[in-house]
Amino acid sequence: MSPEKYFDLLRLSFLLPPGHLRKLKARDFLNMLRQNLPQALPYSWLEIFYETRLEVEEEIERTFIETWDTVILSTGYPGFYWGSQAPFCDGMVRFTGGWPQHSYNALSPDLLELQFDQSQIAREEPSLLPEIVCGFTAIARNLEAFYAAGYVLRNYLLENGAITFVIDVSETLPSYSDWWDGIPKTPWLTWFGADYKSLLNDSLSGCELVTESTEDGCLLRLGEFPVYNANAKKIYPRFPKEKHSSLALTHKLADMRSLSN
């Protein structure tokens, strides 16, 4: 198989409390991207989950707003994808409520994902990485994400419509399931929102990998550039399992909401 078919994919995942994305207006969402990470703005196509792709280059913003409103107003669609210009690949929003709930008492978050062609960035535009990191932090803070992660899926392959990647050399990623399983082991970038940060204060205090810390959260970064999993495992902080579990965070968020009401 030709090695040219393989590439690395930089994915930014933002996890929000259930129902949070549905409160956001599509125009406000686009303005947030425009201000913080304009490369991620929709450009070429939209695809509602379970529906056909819409090729709408000329009126993409209007169609995006209409699609967002359609998805929010309909309980049958859990979210949608969009495409943009290289090196940005695509984005995805998933709203809580479009998928079956898991049986145990876990947090079922809203999800935003933004993906870049990391191979192209490393080869042609390495100066874009600091901008992506700043945009990642700003979006996490703007959306009040309780957790966000930036990680590279390495040796990514798209062939005959099937996507595969080699997980052993990739930083670990948040669960693909519809519930929060706890902190992945080795993402390159990690944002802990205020509620999560307060759970992990003992482990994060004095950690040299924390490059930004405010009342609304903190950023943990494993170096200037994305690292391979073997190296990430050696330097990523170790958190108590009972602190980073889904159940612990669910209870924490519930406690914080009850205090604010």
Which pLDDT score, from 0 to 100, does residue 161 have? 53
Mean of all residue pLDDT scores within the chain: 81
Residue 31 is classified by DSSP as H
Nearest Cα neighbor of 252 from 19, 95, 17, 20 is 17
Render pLDDT for 138-170 as a digit per residue (tens, 0 to 9).
999 999 999 999 999 888 776 665 566 777 788
Which pLDDT score, from 0 to 100, does residue 260 have? 38
Q: Which residues of the chain have pLDDT under 50?
A: 1-3, 98-103, 256-261
Which pLDDT score, from 0 to 100, does residue 103 have? 46
Amino acid sitting at position 59: E
Residue 210 pairs in a beta bridge with 220
CA 76 vs CA 46, 47, 135: distances in Å = 17, 14, 31
- CA pair distance 240, 88, nearest whole angstrom: 35
The per-residue DSSP string of 223-251 comes to: SSS---HHHHHHHSPP--HHHHSHHHHHH
Q: What are phi and psi of 22, to 5 degrees?
A: -65, -20
Which distant-in-sequence residues (6+ apart) come within 8 Å of 77 by Cβ? 48, 49, 50, 51, 70, 71, 98
Global confidence as pTM: 0.87
